[in-house]
Amino acid sequence: MKIKSIETLRVAIPVDADGPRGAATGAWDRVESLVVRVETAGGLVGWGEAFGHKVNPGTEAILHTMVGPWFLGKDAALAEALADQAQRAFHSFGRGGPVMYALSGIDIALWDIMAKRAGKPLFRLLSATDGELRCYASLLPYGGDRDAIARNSRKALDAGHGMIKLHETALPAFMAAREALPAEIPVALDVNCPWTVNEARAIARAIKGRGFEWLEEPVWPPENFTGLADVRREGVAIAGGENIGSLDEFRRAFDAKALDVAQPSVAKIGGVTGMRRAAALAAEYKLRVVPHCFYWGPGYLATAHIAASLPNRPMVETLFAAFAAKPHALWEPEKGSLVLPETPGLGFEPDLAVLERFMVSRHAVRAN
């Protein structure tokens, strides 16, 4: 099970979010994945994904210059032990951020390999009984355009998504989705850390009792856990955790009573190993876990396998936009549900022609 090669494939697929375009609205016209491919000397291949988007050139460089070479020749069956050793080896280069993203990508690939070797889909290796999941639609930002928000909220509802999440920051935008949807469909608000504590408290008071599932990352900076706890005391559920880089930081957030919903992110917190540990910690604090998942590649599937293994079976966050091409058979944002296959591992079988067509860059490191 010696690791023979580690390859990165940085892929950017054009998307149509059916809304206003351009930087002013924050709209996205393509979505990247930094796919990690690990191969063992015996020929087993594992797929992973490292965060992400604009920092991909940095994560990619770390993978092929520093983190990737460290893993060459090591035993792919030892993901958890290697996670601990690697974090110690690289701790002085960042306890969160691209070093952890790189480690996350490799860890996911190692779990894929371990599940393949065990002959089981990852969700069964994680003791889940089935791989059927609901999804929720994570809308791209529409810069407050109420028509686009309402239209896409209804489209996601028609597709069968169990919840709609917005990336908007103003009450009229929030209400555009709320008013477009039946009351029983939850609407979550992801605002990405814009406000002071007092501003966020005012927003919390304004949305309280109006049918919103949670308010995600309302405060700048995201690690202001006492500030988040202050906002939470207004009586609105607070979600966060995608920007938390370590287990100890999660513990500080939980101790500060900052969160109702913990959102570790598989391609940032240390892969499957990191997610399992974060979820176990959240369980100690009796907190709900709903993973962050702004991914379409192996990170998406890893999140789904982990979600299947969690007691609350959270819906899988699914980036809601029309892709120019389908990167793999299990990427169906237009569906609102996901059935993980019984094939061993993650079940990530990329359409290599699609990856090739939208490839930004590709690197490999190999054992001598």
Sign of the dihedral through C-alpha 74, 80, 308, 216: negative
Looking at 30-38, 89-97, 208-216, 347-355, which segment touches Mg ion (CB under 5 A)?
208-216
Residues 100-119 that bind Mg ion (CB under 5 A): none
Question: Can you tell me the distance from the alpha carbon of 191 to that of 170, in angstroms, rounded to the nearest whole number?
Answer: 9
Question: Can you tell me the distance from the alpha carbon of 238 to that of 260, in angstroms, rounded to the nearest whole number?
Answer: 5
Among 39, 80, 112, 190, binds Mg ion (CB under 5 A): 190
Looking at 23-31, 36-44, 178-186, 215-223, which segment touches Mg ion (CB under 5 A)?
215-223
Q: How far is the CB of 217 from Mg ion (least distance, A)?
A: 6
Q: Which is nearer to Mg ion, 32 or 216 (CB)?
A: 216
Q: Which is nearer to Mg ion, 126 or 239 (CB)?
A: 239
Looking at 213-221, 300-308, 318-326, 329-337, which segment touches Mg ion (CB under 5 A)?
213-221
Q: Are 264 and 287 in contact (CB under 8 A)?
A: no
Q: Are 49 and 36 in contact (CB under 8 A)?
A: yes
198-201, long-range: CB within 8 Å, 24+ apart, which pairs?
A: 200/227, 200/231, 201/230, 201/231, 201/234
Q: Which is nearer to Mg ion, 80 or 217 (CB)?
A: 217
Chain position carrying tokens 């460089």: 61
Q: Which is nearer to Mg ion, 145 or 216 (CB)?
A: 216
Pairing label, strands 30-40, 45-50? antiparallel
Looking at 154-162, 182-190, 299-307, 341-349, which segment touches Mg ion (CB under 5 A)?
182-190
Q: How far is the CB of 239 from Mg ion (least distance, A)?
A: 8
Q: How far is the CB of 192 from Mg ion (least distance, A)?
A: 6
- The 3 state secondary structure assigned to 278-318 is HHHHHHHCCCEECCECCCCCHHHHHHHHHHHHCCCCCCEEE
Q: How far is the CB of 253 from Mg ion (least distance, A)?
A: 14
Question: Residue type for 121, please?
Answer: P
83, with CB counted inside 10 A (0-12, 13-18, 19+), is: buried
Q: Which is nearer to Mg ion, 213 or 216 (CB)?
A: 216
Q: Are 35 and 355 in contact (CB under 8 A)?
A: yes
Q: At a CB cut-off of 8 Å and minimum separation 6, what does 77 contact?
A: 1, 110, 113, 114, 117
Q: How far is the CB of 118 from Mg ion (least distance, A)?
A: 33
Q: Which is nearer to Mg ion, 80 or 190 (CB)?
A: 190
> How many chain residues touch Mg ion (CB under 5 A)?
2
Looking at 46-54, 62-70, 76-84, 184-192, which segment touches Mg ion (CB under 5 A)?
184-192
Q: Which is nearer to Mg ion, 6 or 191 (CB)?
A: 191
Cβ-proximal residue to Mg ion, closest one: 190
Q: Which is nearer to Mg ion, 47 or 214 (CB)?
A: 214
Chain position carrying tokens 């789904």: 304
Q: How far is the CB of 304 from Mg ion (least distance, A)?
A: 18
Which helix H or strand E contains 363, and what residues bound it?
strand 359-366
Q: How far is the CB of 216 from Mg ion (least distance, A)?
A: 5
- Residues found near Mg ion in the complex (CB under 5 A): 190, 216
